């Protein structure tokens, strides 16, 4: 808790923005009185006013409301894609580094094959195979993050499995599962957390790009990427709509990047003290 307090004090603006995002996602129905899907053509493309805090879109839907509800999609994508990357990368890296030989060769080739595709291209391929949806985008982001984490974990495992305490576990008759879970995994956890924290900003960028192309969240879901695509034709007639959504997306990506850097520095200092 003390480390968390120091971390928040050293990154106040980023922490505040992410907490605000989580608060908006959790209490969206209490923050705004509008329905994010409610169409009102009489109110389309209105500017900032007392009635509509950030104006309306081309269907007359309240922009502030759709941004607030869109934060739910952002958090859903971050959490699910980060979990997929962490699980897949950790399992592949542990097995590849620990067993070596042919298992290492096969798993390394699988990692190389996945890493050969950019996240957006992987998302396009999955959308073609599974149909365009938010889950297809999440799956592509999770698969894209897996190889990077797997390589980091594999390198740590190659180093740790030769250390004295791992050899002692083998000498005492411990099985492979016990050694992986009890002796090796706790010592690679910091690397897993650091790499997983890097998935978040990439996830937000990728899902926004896929939604902008119509391959992520599908209308009328209030995805920020889809909202940017909807606002683009009206950027001269009603620029507030585009500027607001792009600003919120940019601030979120910057905050996640800075928090990821902070987590990396914090864990690196802890490792150095150990």
Number of structural domains the chain divides into: 1
Residue 18 forms part of a structural domain: no
Report the alpha-carbon distance of residue 1 to residue 236 in Å, rounded: 49
Q: Which of 159, 161, 151, 253 is nearest to 192 (CA)?
A: 151
Report the alpha-carbon distance of residue 40 to residue 218 in Å, rounded: 20
Cβ atoms of 260 and 198 closer than 8 Å: yes
CB neighbourhood size of 171 (10 A): 8
Give Cα separations from 153 to 139, 159, 184, 189, 271 (angstroms): 21, 10, 10, 9, 16
**The pair of three-digit structure tokens given for residue 219, joined into one six-digit string:** 């209308």
pLDDT of the chain, 274 residues: tens digit per residue: 555 556 566 667 878 888 899 999 999 999 988 889 888 888 888 888 888 888 888 888 999 999 999 999 999 999 998 899 889 888 888 888 888 777 778 878 877 777 777 777 777 787 777 778 888 888 888 888 888 888 888 888 888 877 777 777 777 777 778 878 888 888 888 888 888 888 888 888 888 888 888 888 888 888 899 899 988 888 888 888 889 999 999 999 999 888 887 777 777 666 555 5
Residue 274 forms part of a structural domain: no
Domain of residue 175, residue span: 70-262
Give Cβ neighbours of residue 274 (< 8 Å, ≥ 6 apart): none
Residue 91 forms part of a structural domain: yes
Name beta bridge partners: 184: none
Cβ atoms of 90 and 172 closer than 8 Å: no
Find the CATH number of the domain harbouring 171.
1.10.3720.10
**The pair of three-digit structure tokens given for residue 99, joined into one six-digit string:** 């067993």
Q: Which of 239, 244, 254, 238 is nearest to 224 (CA)?
A: 244
């Amino acid at each position: 808790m003390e480390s968390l307090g120091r971390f928040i004090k050293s990154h106040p603006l980023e922490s505040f923005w992410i907490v605000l995002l989580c608060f908006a996602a959790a209490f969206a129905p209490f923050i705004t009185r509008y329905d994010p899907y409610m169409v009102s053509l009489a109110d389309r493309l209105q500017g900032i006013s007392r009635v509509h805090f950030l104006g309306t879109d081309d269907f007359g839907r309240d922009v502030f409301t759709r941004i607030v509800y869109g934060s739910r999609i952002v958090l859903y994508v971050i959490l699910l894609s980060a979990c997929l990357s962490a699980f897949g990368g950790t399992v592949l890296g542990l097995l590849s580094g620990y067993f070596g030989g042919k298992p290492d060769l096969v798993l390394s080739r699988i990692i190389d094959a996945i890493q050969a595709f950019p996240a957006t291209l992987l998302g396009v391929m999955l959308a073609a195979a599974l149909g365009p949806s938010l889950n297809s985008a999440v799956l592509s982001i999770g698969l894209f993050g897996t190889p990077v984490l797997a390589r980091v974990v594999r390198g740590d495992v190659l180093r740790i499995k030769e250390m004295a305490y791992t050899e002692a576990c083998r000498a005492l008759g411990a099985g492979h599962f016990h050694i992986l879970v009890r002796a090796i995994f706790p010592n690679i956890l910091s690397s897993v957390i650091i790499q997983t924290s890097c998935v978040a900003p990439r996830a937000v960028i990728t899902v926004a790009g896929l939604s902008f192309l119509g391959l992520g969240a599908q209308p009328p879901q209030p995805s920020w990427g889809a909202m940017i695509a909807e606002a683009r034709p009206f950027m001269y007639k009603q620029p507030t709509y585009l500027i607001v959504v792009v600003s919120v997306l940019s601030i979120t990506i910057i905050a996640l990047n800075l928090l990821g850097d902070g987590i990396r520095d914090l864990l690196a200092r802890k490792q150095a003290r150990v």
